[in-house]
Amino acid sequence: MKFRFAHNNINVLDLEKSLNFYKAALGLTEVRRRVHEKGDFILVFLGDGVTNHTLELTWLKDRTEAYNLGENEFHLAFAVDDFEAAYEYHKQMGCICFENKEMGIYFISDPDNYWLEIIPSK
């Protein structure tokens, strides 16, 4: 028996705003979508065009308040080939929420305040 990663999921309040953010900030694009037949939810899977791993964005029709992210101690990490250019781009976007210069990493936050770690490719 062998397990492999398939996807990660986060819930979002404004699907279009989130889709625009993930495309602009990280270059992720929609690879598939599932719309509930009664419109109760929409699942959109985003890919990076390189790996098979996807990020599932879940939108729930009846959800109106922000999600409780606790202390936001969980995150997704993205490796980038040009760390300095990515940093400047995210700085211009105004989405950098935390920097750890000693470790050589930083975090950006999405429209729902999920933190996304940006690390240099090794």
- The residues, ordered by sequence, that sit 6+ positions from 57 with a Cβ below 8 Å of its Cβ are 9, 10, 11, 12, 15, 18, 19, 22, 43, 44, 45, 46
Overall average pLDDT of the 35-45 stretch: 97
Residue 98, pLDDT score: 96
Q: What is the pTM of this model?
A: 0.92
Q: Contact, 47 vs 28, CB < 8 A? A: yes
Task: State which amino acid sits at residue 75.
Answer: H
| Domain containing residue 76: CATH number | 3.10.180.10
In Å, how far from its chain's centre is CA 24?
11
Q: Does residue 18 sit within a domain?
A: yes
Q: What size, in residues, is the chain?
A: 122
Q: Does residue 111 sit within a domain?
A: yes
Q: Does residue 63 sit within a domain?
A: yes
Q: Does residue 1 sit within a domain?
A: no
Whether the per-residue pLDDT at 73 is higher than 90: the answer is: no
What percentage of residues in the chain have a pLDDT greater than 90?
Answer: 89
Q: Does residue 72 sit within a domain?
A: yes
Q: Does residue 97 sit within a domain?
A: yes
Both tokens assigned to 107? 């975090």
In whole angstroms, what is the distance from residue 97 CA to residue 1 CA? 40
Q: Does residue 2 sit within a domain?
A: no
Q: Which domain holds residue 98?
A: 7-120
Name the residue among 115, 86, 107, 96 with its Cα closest to residue 10.
115
pLDDT tens sequence across 1-21: 988 889 999 999 999 999 999
Domain count, the chain: 1
Query: H/E element holding 88?
Result: helix 83-93
pLDDT tens sequence across 80-98: 999 999 999 999 999 999 9
Q: Does residue 61 sit within a domain?
A: yes
